[in-house]
Amino acid sequence: MKTLHRLRYLGVILATVMMTGTAYLNIAWAARYIDQGNGTVADQNSGLLWQQADSYHELKQGMNWYRALEYVDLKNAEKFAGFTDWRLPTIDELKSLYDASRPIKNKDGERIGLPEPFRNGGSYYLWTNTERGLENAWYFGLG
């Protein structure tokens, strides 16, 4: 099980709910994540649509949680992939992406356990929308 911690500068990967007839079915890993060809990956099991490349690909830097929230607002304002309901994912949603046996690597060459459609890797740590008290938020460590 992954350990959850607090950190100040992390990457962001966004999620939005995609309504499909196959949502919430138990689908094999190989067919579960579908590259949509527009910078997103559809999770056929959960019904979520994920940003394929995290914020590090675009900005080339980590960010604090408040900047992560601004990044979400920016993606919604630009209607990224045609959607305006992007948000930071929950801890459990990020956990659902992780499998230590996967070969995908982060920007530093470390294995991060993301599915094949996230082949360009990204940050090792990702912000969640889960707050911890008034001044902290949880992040999820891949790897």
Contact 89, 51 (CB under 8 A): no
Which alpha helices (DSSP H) does the chain contain, by range? 29-32, 55-59, 65-77, 91-97
Structural domain range at position 63: 4-13+55-141
Q: Is residue 60 part of a domain?
A: yes
Task: Tell me, yes or no, whether 20 lies in a domain.
Answer: no
Task: Provide the whole-model pTM.
Answer: 0.74
Does residue 107 fall inside a structural domain?
Answer: yes
CA distances from 59 to 10, 18, 86, 101, 104 (A): 12, 26, 18, 28, 20
Q: Report pLDDT digits (tens) over 65-113.
A: 888 899 999 999 999 999 999 998 888 888 888 777 777 777 777 777 7
Distance CA 14, CA 48 (A): 10
As for how many domains the chain has, the answer is: 1
Judge whether 49 lies within some domain.
Answer: no
